[in-house]
């Protein structure tokens, strides 16, 4: 079996994926789009969009807008975020909370958002299976103390090393928040079917795929059945997603993603 060498000189007999795409995304105010439907969606489905957000203290007004065909996953790393829907219902996310909004055949979002302290986190769009694209909308939240860890990884969706997320996704995927200390070594070994794998570095820097990655970078690895070896250059935090690539081409609208019905 082929042998790889990591940046610290420690050898391993397990093959590790290499990077096929690397970007810092596009920043517009408080939002950085690391990956979106118009650029890499066909390469990374069921993952079709990943945003990093950093919000200030000013209240935000969210105009009326729809979503359909997707699930929207919001994860807070820092701060508190409260939203008030047009119906008057209030939802509050605290650090470490994960929100799953399955939009299905259509869900309208609007209202005001209020922050407490510095707020940062990620919003992930997931393409739903065709059988659920026109299903009933659903909404679930897992609070910080409900999200379990295995080693340095918090299991936000799916499962990792025997640990299950409290939010059961209808898509076979894994979504992790990982914290490493300087010089820590960690390997992610995905399920055999997960040929899509990406990392978004939130803070610090790390070696992965034979390259040094800095805070703010998003990388998509080559499609294979291999894992990825990570060495922390310094203390770092990153998001990681893996899944089996969807067999369906996707058609994206401004707020929606659906499978191509012509297939």
Q: Where are the domains of the chain?
A: 4-259
Q: Higher-confidence residue: 86 or 197? A: 197
The mean pLDDT value of the chain amounts to 83
Q: What is the Cα–Cα distance from 191 to 252, expressed in whole angstroms?
A: 28
**pLDDT band (50, 70, 90) for residue 5:** very low
Give residue-wise pLDDT tens across range 82-126. Answer: 776 655 666 778 899 999 987 755 555 555 566 777 889 999 998
Tell whether the model's pLDDT for residue 4 goes beyond 50: no
pTM of the model: 0.85
Give residue-wise pLDDT tens across range 225-258. Answer: 899 999 999 999 999 999 999 876 666 655 555 5
Token pair 């992930």 is found at 124
Residue 58 confidence (pLDDT) = 59
What percentage of the chain has pLDDT greater than the value 70?
75
| List of residues 6+ apart from 64 with CB closer than 8 A | 86, 108, 109, 110
Residue 186 confidence (pLDDT) = 98
Q: Higher-confidence residue: 205 or 112? A: 205
Average of pLDDT values for 4-25? 73
Q: Higher-confidence residue: 105 or 18? A: 18
State both tokens at 146. Answer: 């409900």
Tell whether the model's pLDDT for residue 67 goes beyond 70: no
Q: Which CATH architecture does the domain made up of 4-259 adopt?
A: Sandwich (2.60)
Residue 259 confidence (pLDDT) = 61
Q: What is the Cα–Cα distance from 255 to 61, expressed in whole angstroms?
A: 17
The answer to whether the CB of 185 falls within 8 A of the CB of 8 is: yes
The answer to whether the CB of 173 falls within 8 A of the CB of 126 is: yes
Average of pLDDT values for 180-209? 97
Residue 34 confidence (pLDDT) = 95
Helix (H) or strand (E) holding 41: helix 41-44
């Amino acid at each position: 079996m082929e042998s790889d060498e990591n940046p610290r000189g420690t050898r391993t007999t397990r093959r590790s994926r290499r990077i096929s795409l690397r970007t810092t995304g596009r920043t517009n105010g408080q939002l950085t789009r690391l990956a979106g439907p118009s650029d890499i969606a066909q390469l990374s489905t069921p993952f079709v969009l990943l945003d990093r957000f950093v919000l200030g203290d000013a209240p935000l007004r969210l105009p009326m807008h729809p979503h359909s065909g997707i699930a929207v996953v919001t994860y807070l790393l820092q701060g508190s975020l409260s939203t008030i829907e047009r119906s008057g219902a209030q939802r509050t996310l605290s650090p470490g909370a994960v929100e799953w909004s399955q939009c299905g055949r259509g869900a309208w979002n609007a209202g005001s958002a209020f922050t407490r302290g510095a707020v940062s986190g990620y919003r992930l769009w997931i393409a739903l299976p065709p059988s659920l694209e026109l299903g009933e909308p659903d909404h679930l939240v897992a609070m910080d103390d409900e999200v379990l860890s295995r080693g340095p990884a918090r299991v936000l969706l799916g499962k990792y090393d025997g640990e299950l997320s409290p939010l059961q996704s209808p898509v076979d995927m894994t979504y992790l928040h990982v914290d490493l200390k300087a010089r820590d070594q960690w390997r992610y070994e995905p399920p055999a079917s997960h040929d899509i794998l990406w990392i978004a570095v939130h803070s610090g820097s790390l070696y992965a795929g034979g390259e040094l990655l800095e805070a703010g970078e998003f990388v998509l690895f080559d499609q294979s059945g291999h894992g990825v070896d990570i060495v922390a250059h310094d203390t770092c935090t990153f998001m990681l997603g893996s899944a089996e690539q969807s067999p369906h081409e996707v058609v994206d609208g401004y707020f929606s993603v659906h499978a191509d019905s012509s297939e």
